[in-house]
Amino acid sequence: MTEHRFFSQVKASTKFSSSGLKSGLVGAIATLMCTIMYTTPGLAGDPFRTKDPRPIGDKTEAAFKSIFLKGNYQAADNLLKQALDSEKNEPLAYAMRASLAYTSKDFAGLESYSKKTREIGEKLISQDPLRGNLYTAVGHFLEGAISLQRQGTVSGAPAALGKLRQVYQYLDKAEAISANDPELNLVKGFMDLMIAVNLPFANPEQAIERLNSNAAPRYLAQRGIAIGYRDLKQYNQALDYVNKALQETAENPEIYYLKAQILRAMALKEKNPQKMQEAVTNFDKALSQKSQLPQSTVKQIERERRNAVSEIKK
């Protein structure tokens, strides 16, 4: 889809000013930035590429592992504070701080770190045009979601649309440099998927194909696809992909939370109490490591678990 056609259809869409897109884009901050940052050791600290790797600072990389290998947000918070002191030119560190601010409902921090993500991305363009354009796009995306959060969908929609236009302008520049780059395809695949499940004209299958074909690391692409299928209410596919993600991320409590959500939705659809019990089991697996998770996430898991238990008793 060309950029002109894309934005013409966005403007024409009555859903653009609906609560669905607001919650989708704002919720996508955590989904997009948290899920794409999980890493395992790679060449030169690059979790995305085995060819032409980019160096990432030790503290930033350690924070990635703390959150997304162990699911330990508390340790990651301290590591990222150190990263912003010693690795000030890595936009990924600021994007991570933005995601942590979102999960703690620190919207002032979210605004500040989103702006820094964009500014550091802009500075990086001269040295690394691919990643510079990519993280400039990420910064604009986050800032657009903030407009919807702060102003509401009706008042905030024009500003968000302007930001979305800039997002895709910078993504197009990055894609012109390396269309098959795994980091680019991971980020763009997540963005496209989050937008696709909230706008009637967009094609989520194209986003899923992008994640399937060119995004890396694979477990992150699989997690993103699971989230997309969950939101599309295609629960069998969602369960298949979350199980694939679990093969490599079995220590991450958030993956068990995602699996529990999918199983609960399946149980409600099928009126299957056994599957609902399986959902509760996965909620419990996530909560067994609740000391590592943000309090807002813990409260949400506990609330959904209580609902699942009450549904078994009906």
Q: Is the pLDDT of residue 22 over 90?
A: no
Mean pLDDT value of segment 54-81: 82
Least confident of 25-39, 71-85, 103-117, 165-179: 25-39
Helix ranges (DSSP H) in 178-294 = 182-196, 204-214, 218-231, 235-246, 253-270, 273-287
Q: Which domains does the chain have, with CATH numbers?
A: 1-207 (no CATH), 217-314 (1.25.40.10)
Report residue 201: phi and psi, to 5°. Answer: -90, -20
Q: How many CA atoms lie within 13 A of 259 on its CB side?
A: 28
Q: Is the pLDDT of residue 17 over 80?
A: no
- Give this prediction's pTM: 0.83
pLDDT of residue 163: 86
Report d(CA 4, CA 280) in Å as an integer. Answer: 46
Mean pLDDT value of segment 74-78: 89
Q: Read off the DSSP letter of residue 198.
A: T
pLDDT digit string, tens, across residues 209-264: 999 999 988 888 899 899 989 988 999 999 999 999 999 889 999 999 999 999 99
